[in-house]
Amino acid sequence: MNRPVRFRHLLNTALWCCGFGVAVCASAQETQAPAKTMSLKEAVLLAVRANASLNTAYLERVLDRFRLEYAKAEFHPQGQIKFDIGRSNATPTRQAAALDLALALPTGGKIEFGWSRERSDAAALGRQTLQWTQPLLRGAGRVATAELRRAELAEVQARLQLRGAVMATVTAVIAAYRSVQETRAQIGLARDALQRSRTLAETQHTLVENGRLGRLELLQTDADIAGGELEVLDAETRADNARLALLKLLDMDLRTEIVPEEIDTGASAPTSPALPDTAHAITLAETLRPDYLSVRNAERMAELGLEKARDARLWQLDWVVTATRAQQADITAPPQRSAGLMLTIPLNDRAARLALSGAEIEQKKAARQTSDVAQALKVEVLNALRNAASSARQTVLARHNVDLNRQKLDAELTKLGVGRSSLFQVSTYQQNLKQAEQTRITALIAHANALARLDLTLGTTLQTWEILLD
Position 426 scores a pLDDT of 80
Q: pLDDT at residue 427 above 90?
A: no
Q: Looking at 58-196, which runs of residues are DSSP E strands?
A: 78-86, 94-104, 110-120, 124-135
Query: What angle (nearest 5°) sits at the alpha carbon of residue 28, between those of residues 26 and 33?
Result: 115
Short-list 77, 106, 109, 105, CA closest to 319 = 109
Percent above pLDDT 70 for the chain: 85
Domain residue extents for the chain: 35-76+137-313+351-464, 96-136+319-348
| Of 95 and 13, the one with more pLDDT | 95
Bridge partners (DSSP) of residue 134 are 319
Position 16 scores a pLDDT of 47
Q: pLDDT at residue 9 above 60?
A: no
Position 329 scores a pLDDT of 64
208 contacts: CB under 8 Å, gap ≥ 6 = 214, 215, 217, 218
Position 382 scores a pLDDT of 96
Q: List, for residues 350-406, the tens digit of each pLDDT value.
A: 999 999 999 999 999 999 999 999 999 999 999 999 999 999 999 999 999 999 999
What does 325-375 look like in DSSP terms, one character per residue? EEEETTEEPPPEEEEEEEEE---S-HHHHHHHHHHHHHHHHHHHHHHHHHH
Q: pLDDT at residue 22 above 60?
A: no
What span, in angstroms and rounded, lies between the C-alpha atoms of 267 and 247?
32
Biggest alpha carbon distance in the chain? 136
Using a cut of 0.85, tell me whether the model's pTM lies above it.
no
Position 220 scores a pLDDT of 73
**CATH 1.20.1600.10 is the classification of domain 35-76+137-313+351-464:** yes
What does 374-439 look like in DSSP terms, one character per residue? HHHHHHHHHHHHHHHHHHHHHHHHHHHHHHHHHHHHHHHHHHHHTTSS-HHHHHHHHHHHHHHHHH
For residue 420, what pLDDT band results from cuts at 50, 70 and 90? confident
For residue 201, what pLDDT band results from cuts at 50, 70 and 90? confident
379 contacts: CB under 8 Å, gap ≥ 6 = none
Distance, C-alpha 278 to centroid of its chain: 26
